[in-house]
Chain A
Amino acid sequence: MTRAKDNVDAFLPLKPVAFHVLMSLADGERHGYAITQEIAARTSARMRIEPGNLYRSIKTLLDDGLIEESSGKAADSCDERRRYYRITALGRRAASAETARLEELLADAKGKRWLKGRA
């Protein structure tokens, strides 16, 4: 049985879109449209994800087991036909591992001289 940490290393580095989707689902279940809206809100509309992009990402995340389809309905119950997704435990671990990786990276980058004036 491999250790949990080794498991998630296989998924790093996460693609940016995938990471955003995981972040979006961290707070709860959502369907596709809600995910894109949340991402847009969180990034002040800097990231705009088109359907093709989004669902490919979702497919990969599903295949890798980082998210799963949710059977129940979530907060906004306006549309029953939609598929809802939620993050799995593996997904949470992967997301947190990615965060750690990015923090390390950022720390290294900040140590370099090019970021003068930004401590």
Chain B
Amino acid sequence: MYRLLLRAFPREFRRQFGTDMTALFAERRRDARRAGAGQYLAFWSRTLIDITRHGVAERRAMKRKRGESPMRSFFQDMRFALRLFRRRPGLSATAVMTLALGIGVNVAMFSVINGVLLRDLPFPHPERLVRVGETGTSTDNWQPFNAGNYVDVQRETGDAFQALAAYRIVPAATLTGIGEAVKAGTVAVRPEFFDVLATAPAMGRPLTATDLDTSSRSVVISDGFWRGKLGSDPQVVGRSVELDGQQWTIVGVLAPDAEYPSGVELWKPMVFSANDLAQRNSWSLNVIGRLRPSITLEQANASAKRAMSLVAASHPGPEPRSAIVVNLREDTVSLVRRDLVFVQGVTALILLIACANLGNLLLATATARHREFSVRAAIGAGRARLVRQMLAESFVISAIGGSIGAALAFLIVPALVAAYPGSLPGRERIGVSGFELVVAIGAALLTNVMFGLAPALLASRTKLTNALRPSPGAGASPIARWLRNGLVTAEVVMTLSLVAGAGLLIKSFATLTAQPVGFDTRNVLAAYMQVPTPRFPTEGERLRVFESLLDRLAQEPDVESVATTLPLPFDGSGTGLALRWDPALGFSGSAAASARFVSPRYADVLSVPLLRGRFIAKDDRPEAPLVAVVNESFSRQYGRTRDVIGMRMRRTENGPWITIVGIVADVRANFLQKPRPEIVFPVAQTALAAGNFIIKTRSNPTQFAHRVRQVAHDAYPNVPMGRIEPMDVIVGDSVAQRRFNMSLLVALALLALLLSVIGIYGVMAYVVTQRRREMGIRVALGAHPAQVQALVVRQGLIPIVIGIAGGLAGAWFLTALLTKELFEIKPHDPWTLAASAVAFLAVGLAACWLPARSSSRVNPVEVLRAE
């Protein structure tokens, strides 16, 4: 072992003192071992330091004595490498860009992963932050909290939680009055929210219980909002801004990077009305909490479950309810973790492909310089020296490629984060900073070794006689040929896997979005409006606002029909209800369904067919008997033994009966879930404060948006209109995540394909050039050029075909990982795999044939003469 370490010293020194040093070492080690484990460890560290220090020092001293500067050979190598680099600009540029792309995408992905998955949430003791949810009988799918339950649980769990806070993301507020109107991500929070985060605002104060007074309109803003939209106004605390048409007072500005949830800019107080607290059968609140210092997750879970069972006892509902507590960070990132790691894996594959390319490149050029190396060896360069020289050449490529790659990452990361639909959790913490650059440098050095070492070792195995013989032909040694073919095969395997995976995602996305949605989105505009309850305290007044606007909009020449609905299909929101059946019907239990509240022309606007009975009508007023319409899925589930039309149900124990009067076709809530049972209520018979106007226009809906806002403003200047977008966009946004994943993977697969094609083409071109002499001879001996080409192409295709076989196997494995992403497509979809294989075969064929063709138009006389 020591003998190996002694190689740090120059050879002559070793020869002179090696034995003695080893003997001395052995005796020292014996003494150290006897002295105990600690001493032994200290001994080894002393030994290593000694070897390193003195080995290097002795070498330098020797060099100095010989008159060489110790660093000289290194600089010589570098100068030579740079000269070589400049002399082959095309080759060098290709090599550098290949590596730059490989390293660039990797560093970019790693930066994202670092920011999202690895860095902690920027709050004190982030490990104590948790999310709490309600569950039914099985804890597998847990859901948001009910307001009343939240208040009770908060009261009962003071032992485990230092603070517990509910929040709900609300539609983005529109800031007006300062330049152009802009939207800002908004969340409504309970005052305990800032206690949970344990972060004090940089300016002003957080929201407190006093802000729950419905007349106060206090808001806390983010640092980004302050700088970007308010111009870093130093007098911001106490300043008033117009949000959604109302005046709000800014009471605090958070510190930079201290936002939760990600991407939010405004924090408003969440006020519970008496109705909110009394109603125990709607669930829409997110709850986060901070555990007390010595409380574990299990204890918190026990406490929460205990509290929920108390709630269930005093408010029995149709289902037993419980609670679950999970670590907040885990919960937030677990959704994206899988995706991010998967993409990082893909970029790592791309880097490997780039390295394979470069390896082949260096191998090819090295075997071409066979003669040069042999001559060098003859005049005294040791093998180590030659290897060092070649490593210097690959080092130049790595250094330049790595730098460009890091610069690329710098550009890619912001673009990636911006393109991501919604907001990546922790995206404020993503950036290409020092740590990521160190990773980039490490990657560059590692790849340098990976693609530079093998060719260097191979090329330096020179025998003088070999070199002085006439040109040996392509891939002088069988090992070089094996290595070359092996690299090609490896590239094909990796690329084909990626291409097949991308193909599957494309097919899956197409299948997903091809599903019929159940309504017509053409020319439909959706506008969200929230009626402020302080100014319109009664249901009647609020209803009048909606109906008045419906009338005004209906009179616009551009409008075919208009209605209101809550929720809007495909906007990601929804409420669940459980209603009790009329006991006279004979079945127990409740009807569980999603709820929708609409105005009479809803079915017209969205072209939803009525199947039986009647739809909501103008006469269904608050004074009239309560009615509802159900969808086909509901009818199928509950109308098996008798027609649902005419059945009665009610929302509370002794409430008014609601009669089902009609059945409509199913309308999807999103692409992913099959339509579920739904009950449609007249908005006139419900106490709502918000709704979406859906407007069917005769022409382009986007241009009408302006007019809608104007009409609303003219009628009710104090009632803000929120988001206005065409239905097409809203439907498209619902699959934005999947579209993004697919696009990203397709882009990466194309990059891999590009690199592979360049690599394989380059290798084939080189090999064919080396075989010119052989081809010339064959043609001179009477072979038809086409036959010669065919021979070369056939031999070149072999590693590619093997690669395709391996690639299909790789695709099998890779696509199994994608199963969760795929919608109704089996991961081993034969068509996609076959298509990928065929495509690759065509590509490989072209990459082999083109160089063969151009090279075989060779004049045999010329080639032979050159020898």
Could you tell me which A residues sit within 8 Å of B by CB distance? 31-33, 36, 48, 50-56, 58-59, 79, 81-83
21 CB contacts below 8 A, A to B, read A33-B27, A36-B24, A36-B28, A50-B28, A50-B46, A50-B54, A51-B21, A51-B24, A51-B25, A51-B28, A52-B21, A52-B50, A53-B54, A55-B17, A56-B13, A56-B57, A58-B17, A59-B16, A81-B19, A82-B20, A83-B20
Q: Are A50 and B20 in contact (CB under 8 A)?
A: no
Q: A32-B20, A52-B21 are in contact. List 11 more A-B contacts (CB 8 A).
A: A32-B23, A32-B24, A33-B23, A50-B46, A50-B54, A52-B9, A52-B50, A55-B13, A59-B16, A59-B58, A82-B23
Among A51, A55, A79, A83, the most chain B Cβ lie within 10 Å of the Cβ of: A51
Which A residues are CB-close (under 8 A) to B24? 32-33, 36, 51, 54
In B407-428, the 8 Å CB interface with A consists of none
Which A residues are CB-close (under 8 A) to B28? 36, 50-51
Bound-complex Cα distance A82 to B57 (A) = 25
Which B residues are CB-close (under 8 A) to A81? 19, 23
Are A56 and B25 CB-contacts (below 8 A) given A31-B20, A32-B20, A82-B20? no
Q: Are A52 and B23 in contact (CB under 8 A)?
A: no
Q: How far is the CB of B508 from chain A (nearest CB, A)?
A: 63
Q: How far is the CB of A36 from chain B (nearest CB, A)?
A: 7
4 smallest CB-CB distances across A and B, nearest first, come from: A50-B50, A52-B54, A51-B21, A52-B50
Q: Are A59 and B13 in contact (CB under 8 A)?
A: yes
Q: Are B50 and A55 in contact (CB under 8 A)?
A: no
Which A residues are CB-close (under 8 A) to B19? 81
Q: Are A55 and B57 in contact (CB under 8 A)?
A: no
Closest to A62 in B: B16
Which B residues are CB-close (under 8 A) to A36? 24, 28
Which B residues are CB-close (under 8 A) to A50? 28, 46-47, 49-50, 54
Q: B46-71 toward A: CB 8 Å interface, digit per residue (1/0)? A: 11011101110110000000000000
Closest to B22 in A: A51
Q: How far is the CB of A69 from chain B (nearest CB, A)?
A: 10
Which A residues are CB-close (under 8 A) to B49? 50
Q: How far is the CB of B186 from chain A (nearest CB, A)?
A: 68
Q: How many residues of B contact A (CB 8 A)?
A: 22
Q: Are B23 and A53 in contact (CB under 8 A)?
A: no
Q: B17-43 toward A: CB 8 Å interface, digit per residue (1/0)? A: 101110111011000000000000000
Bound-complex Cα distance A81 to B21 (A) = 12
Are A56 and B54 CB-contacts (below 8 A) given A50-B46, A51-B25, A51-B28? yes
Q: How far is the CB of A46 from chain B (nearest CB, A)?
A: 15
Bound-complex Cα distance A52 to B20 (A) = 10
Q: How far is the CB of A88 from chain B (nearest CB, A)?
A: 18
Closest to B46 in A: A50
Q: Are B16 and A53 in contact (CB under 8 A)?
A: no
In B382-406, the 8 Å CB interface with A consists of none
Which A residues are CB-close (under 8 A) to B20? 31-32, 51, 55, 82-83
Bound-complex Cα distance A50 to B17 (A) = 13
Q: Are B51 and A52 in contact (CB under 8 A)?
A: yes
In B803-847, the 8 Å CB interface with A consists of none
Which B residues are CB-close (under 8 A) to A48? 46
Q: How far is the CB of B20 from chain A (nearest CB, A)?
A: 5
Q: Are B27 and A52 in contact (CB under 8 A)?
A: no
Bound-complex Cα distance A92 to B505 (A) = 85
Which B residues are CB-close (under 8 A) to A51? 20-21, 24-25, 28, 47, 50
Q: How far is the CB of A35 from chain B (nearest CB, A)?
A: 9
Closest to B13 in A: A59
Closest to A58 in B: B17
Q: How far is the CB of B40 from chain A (nearest CB, A)?
A: 15
Q: How far is the CB of A42 from chain B (nearest CB, A)?
A: 17
Which B residues are CB-close (under 8 A) to A52? 9, 21, 50-51, 53-55
Bound-complex Cα distance A55 to B15 (A) = 12
Closest to B51 in A: A52
Q: Are A53 and B21 in contact (CB under 8 A)?
A: no
Q: Are B23 and A55 in contact (CB under 8 A)?
A: no
Which A residues are CB-close (under 8 A) to B17? 55, 58-59
Q: How far is the CB of B19 from chain A (nearest CB, A)?
A: 7
Bound-complex Cα distance A44 to B599 (A) = 99
Q: How far is the CB of B577 from chain A (nearest CB, A)?
A: 81
Q: How far is the CB of A97 from chain B (nearest CB, A)?
A: 24
Bound-complex Cα distance A59 to B16 (A) = 9
Bound-complex Cα distance A58 to B21 (A) = 11
Bound-complex Cα distance A56 to B16 (A) = 11
Bound-complex Cα distance A36 to B23 (A) = 13
Bound-complex Cα distance A53 to B57 (A) = 10
Which A residues are CB-close (under 8 A) to B47? 50-51
Bound-complex Cα distance A15 to B14 (A) = 22
Which B residues are CB-close (under 8 A) to A55? 13, 17, 20-21
Q: How far is the CB of B697 from chain A (nearest CB, A)?
A: 87
Bound-complex Cα distance A56 to B13 (A) = 9
Bound-complex Cα distance A58 to B19 (A) = 14
Bound-complex Cα distance A56 to B62 (A) = 11
Among A48, A56, A81, the most chain B Cβ lie within 10 Å of the Cβ of: A56
Q: How far is the CB of A9 from chain B (nearest CB, A)?
A: 21
Which B residues are CB-close (under 8 A) to A83? 20
Closest to A81 in B: B19
Which B residues are CB-close (under 8 A) to A32? 20-21, 23-24
Q: How far is the CB of B22 from chain A (nearest CB, A)?
A: 8
Q: Are A53 and B50 in contact (CB under 8 A)?
A: yes
Closest to A37 in B: B27
Bound-complex Cα distance A52 to B27 (A) = 14
Closest to A52 in B: B54
Which B residues are CB-close (under 8 A) to A79? 23
Q: How far is the CB of B313 from chain A (nearest CB, A)?
A: 76
Q: How far is the CB of B386 from chain A (nearest CB, A)?
A: 28
Bound-complex Cα distance A2 to B117 (A) = 75
Q: B231-248 toward A: CB 8 Å interface, digit per residue (1/0)? A: 000000000000000000
Which A residues are CB-close (under 8 A) to B57? 56
Bound-complex Cα distance A48 to B50 (A) = 11
Bound-complex Cα distance A33 to B30 (A) = 13
Q: How far is the CB of A85 from chain B (nearest CB, A)?
A: 10
Which A residues are CB-close (under 8 A) to B9? 52
Bound-complex Cα distance A36 to B21 (A) = 12
Among A32, A33, A55, the most chain B Cβ lie within 10 Å of the Cβ of: A55
Bound-complex Cα distance A56 to B17 (A) = 9
